[in-house]
Structure 1
């Protein structure tokens, strides 16, 4: 089943919480930063048809755990209340960075690494004591708080607990393949063709994953690799990893030994429990000296950008073990000017505009042009007023019994009728909400009113407005600017690169399947169908995201789903066939929140939404 993740714009209201921005996205749902009564929360939306009973399990797990190193549950509910599509889990918001991002930017010392891993081990010890398995311990599921460096284990979405009913029929439980323990892979190879075989994960699986996390923090590398999947699995099962202190001389031997014990090949020889890991980490930290306070990796700097050893950069990358790993803030590429700093201007302060061309138009040309604009504008305004009549000044609101999607079909043009657009309403009006934390009082969102002159096209309205304002000295024509830039979903660029989609690549797509050439689209969630195969993304794949209606129509696509059911985050902007970003508005709908567009477009892989 295709999992359409919730794609909410800033300002959307969910159960009394106001969405600010997206924090992350996965196969089962999307996490947002939201506020209630001024307080920040992490809002996790899970698509009910996709997750099934898994949402109840995640809530049950979080209710069992109350620990400073485990993200806290604040509330939960269903949304929208009338016809729920999503389960909503409200969690404590951890203001900080993911563990991998923290390590890459902070270039931590061995002491800092040991403290962070100790926090995760304490979280696992508390979880295992409550009969809970995380089953997806990895850097992306650990947050390091900015205020004090405390680490918190997050996302128990595929966790398990004693007595819980099985939710899958696969040999291996859900999890990230790169972090599976050797015993899981051995079971898989041994029972791959045994119907009904199920691997039962245990605390030792979480401990193995903790060892992988510690290894990467100490060395900036993974301990196992392979040219293909079978090679990687064989390395995990039988390969002996190089000890961290041998891979990186700055890694203390005592901490390296803790890591290697976590990576033993069998549960019997591995560190016996998370509590034992806590004890070992506390012991080595107690004996730490000043060498533990040196950053584990060299820092990036201007001198590190040059070629070392007479080799070019590609050769250096291929022979990476010969070089000390580097972390920290990257310097800007040479030759680029420093980024411009925006300085706020006090009210009333004159602002200097950019120099203009000194070429002047003839006074006679200006007078003639002005006269023509006034004459054409007056004629057009007179004609359109007879056609359109006088529009009511009140705001138009659909009756409560009317379907919010009743106007999805576009009016026919020429000999053919247009196809119905797939865009859903940007927000669904809520009548009531059920959530364990009291939501703040919220006012219903105000819908934009219809334009006064429906019979006028965009160009007609622009000309007539310009003419009237020229005569009356009113402000210039109002132009709705394009949406501001925003970052890609977490992991999108990496997921595209893994499938051979490079930044800048383009591929044709269409907004609606069928023969229609023009579609009506509103602001909010939208789907686009890929035309033809695109590297690792087969033809017919569905790209979902959000449409934004301005003077052009923009679409930011954040999720891809193949016909086989595979899904992953993407970062794709929509371009018109003729080239510019966004789609031109076709005649027939001048609404500020809806537009008619040509159905064929190009999707372009980007590193940031422009």
Structure 2
């Protein structure tokens, strides 16, 4: 059984550091922002029973490194004192964003991308110089500091160094499969049936991964994106990717060539070392001109939505033109149109659809949208007294005795009420914890005064809400958007399949053991239990994860523990009885961080959180 990571509420003291909030979670640890003497630090907690010698390995690596592009070690200890359960690694806190988030939000230029790649190359050169391999170079393990744009390589949790004793017996060392070098996959295929065969990673493996990162930064695409694992591995070993400047004309040819040298198929033809990579990047930056300062992707905006040559809109839809990827700040969602306008016109933004419809189905989409808007206008004419009488009805409420969510987070908010959350398995693919700055949600939350009438159809409730907001001019800021998409824990889909669960399967769950009809749930860690049995997981299996408060209550469950003690990652979204993702908020708690919900819900197996 693999224990879930530590769940610490704000204010807890660990070795003299006061915890403020959780920053990230991964295969072996949980990272928190904590303070000591007013200074911020990143606190990484790892279960001693799970990590074994790996924590000693990580600390040994960090003690060897002292470089401005590597997050520095600040201290190490065991906690709690007397009966330690966790190893604690105290790291420099990097106040910034993960590399992928930085690229997506900033829409950087070629010069900015080259500087970030240069920072990572310098970190690798310093690491390789003292015999240290990172073995998990990827966007999630690079932080870009907000104050000056400097990139720092973080998380050497599955790193290695010369002379270290082996910790695994697998043919390939721990790492993220999508970033493995061609020579690793060749070795795997040639020796998969050879007892005791073991691939030894080297500096060229880190350079290959840097090449993949640089390619994605330059093009907003992956160089290899095949549909299944065997095809992907074949492509990595044999197919030359389209050069970055071929995918994106804004990529300077010199920088594209540097990237392609990182992605050579053999270590002998690849850029010879991280130090050589530093030299190459410094050289092309020295020769850079003004074209290197143009953002690499189109920005989000009205002028970049669907313009492509002189073709009409239908031709553009049917022939799926290749648009330049978009990055940068998104415009906030527009508020609802005035009622009179909504009843007679289609808003201009509704035709700017990013996905290509099949055949001519886009016309039917527009017709359906017009009908919904006309229905909204009709609602205004026939329901004047309902609108004038008070706040509009909200999302649906499940029928008595059958409705979703609540759990161990339903009562006290202290440590005794906190449930276990995500923990990722120690497999070949390790998703290490990363230090990130939490996003701040400043949109106000306003709840209705009256619950929706039970039994009302989903469409009727949606129309009634749209009608009320149109009449009352509800501001757009009152709607808190659903949480952004995120991937499932590593290994979750395979673990669910092993237990006979298919994507889309639904299972009833209970949030509170005392079986109240309505319970209070807070944002953060939560645990539910499967009701009964049947296909998939046995009854009374505990599912843990976190709840997210919006206009609805969203719950993402990522860890399962059976009554027999078996523990593994899962990926479940919680749904209301009638089907929508998330739970309706019941009257009685208008707090942005807590909500009252029904105690029975359904978990749905998903391949990613929408």
Tell me which interval the TM-score lies in, with the shorter structure as reference length.
Answer: 0.5 to 0.7
8 A contact 1:95–1:145 mirrored in 2: yes
1:567 equivalent to 2:558? Answer no
Q: Distance in 1 between matches of 2:334 and 2:314?
A: 17
Structure 1 unaligned residues grouped into runs of 5+: 338-356, 360-419, 429-483, 549-553, 585-596
Paired position in structure 1 for 2:397: none
**Structure 1 SS opposite 2:44:** strand
Q: Distance in 2 between matches of 1:232 and 1:289?
A: 36
- Relative to 1, partners in 2 of residues 1:315 and 1:80: Cα closer, same or farther, differing over 3 Å? farther
- Relative to 1, partners in 2 of residues 1:290 and 1:534: Cα closer, same or farther, differing over 3 Å? farther
1:282 equivalent to 2:285? Answer no
1:272 equivalent to 2:286? Answer no
Paired position in structure 2 for 1:155: 155
1:56 equivalent to 2:56? Answer yes
After TM superposition, give the deviation of residue 307 of structure 1 in Å.
Answer: 7.2
Paired position in structure 1 for 2:179: 179
**Structure 2 SS opposite 1:144:** strand
**Structure 1 SS opposite 2:78:** strand
After TM superposition, give the deviation of residue 15 of structure 1 in Å.
Answer: 2.3
Q: Deviations over 1:202-250 (max 9, x none)?
A: 0100000000000001111000121211000000000110011111111
Paired position in structure 2 for 1:345: none
Q: Distance in 2 between matches of 1:158 and 1:313?
A: 50
Q: Deviations over 1:292-315 (max 9, x none)?
A: 011111111023334755568996
Q: Distance in 1 between matches of 2:21 and 2:502?
A: 26
RMSD value, Cα: 4.8
8 A contact 1:5–1:30 mirrored in 2: yes
- Bigger shift: 129-138 or 44-53? 44-53
1:232 equivalent to 2:232? Answer yes
Paired position in structure 2 for 1:22: 22
After TM superposition, give the deviation of residue 164 of structure 1 in Å.
Answer: 1.0
After TM superposition, give the deviation of residue 493 of structure 1 in Å.
Answer: 9.3
Q: Distance in 2 between matches of 1:16 and 1:582?
A: 41
8 A contact 2:574–2:601 mirrored in 1: no
1:46 equivalent to 2:55? Answer no
Paired position in structure 1 for 2:395: none
Structure 2 unaligned residues grouped into runs of 5+: 338-386, 390-406, 417-479, 587-596
After TM superposition, give the deviation of residue 170 of structure 1 in Å.
Answer: 1.1
Paired position in structure 1 for 2:219: 219
**Structure 1 SS opposite 2:21:** strand
After TM superposition, give the deviation of residue 529 of structure 1 in Å.
Answer: 3.8
8 A contact 2:545–2:559 mirrored in 1: no
- Relative to 1, partners in 2 of residues 1:254 and 1:237: Cα closer, same or farther, differing over 3 Å? same
8 A contact 1:538–1:562 mirrored in 2: no
Give the 5 Å matches for 1:513-552.
Answer: 527-530=527-530, 542-545=542-545
**Structure 2 SS opposite 1:242:** coil
- Relative to 1, partners in 2 of residues 1:572 and 1:310: Cα closer, same or farther, differing over 3 Å? same
- Relative to 1, partners in 2 of residues 1:493 and 1:582: Cα closer, same or farther, differing over 3 Å? farther
8 A contact 1:24–1:490 mirrored in 2: no
Paired position in structure 1 for 2:444: none
Q: TM-score, normalised by structure 2?
A: 0.64
**Structure 1 SS opposite 2:165:** coil
8 A contact 2:62–2:73 mirrored in 1: yes
Give the 5 Å matches for 1:202-601.
Answer: 202-306=202-306, 319=320, 322-336=322-336, 426-427=414-415, 491=487, 507-510=507-510, 527-530=527-530, 542-545=542-545, 559-561=558-560, 566-567=568-569, 601=601
- Bigger shift: 519-528 or 296-305? 519-528
Q: Distance in 2 between matches of 1:52 and 1:275?
A: 33
- Bigger shift: 233-242 or 160-169? 160-169
Q: Distance in 2 between matches of 1:141 and 1:81?
A: 30
- Relative to 1, partners in 2 of residues 1:531 and 1:230: Cα closer, same or farther, differing over 3 Å? farther
After TM superposition, give the deviation of residue 35 of structure 1 in Å.
Answer: 1.5
Tell which structure's C-alpha radius of gyration is larger.
1
Aligned length: 459
Q: Deviations over 1:565-606 (max 9, x none)?
A: 6426x685697999995999xxxxxxxxxxxx9986545799
**Structure 2 SS opposite 1:3:** coil
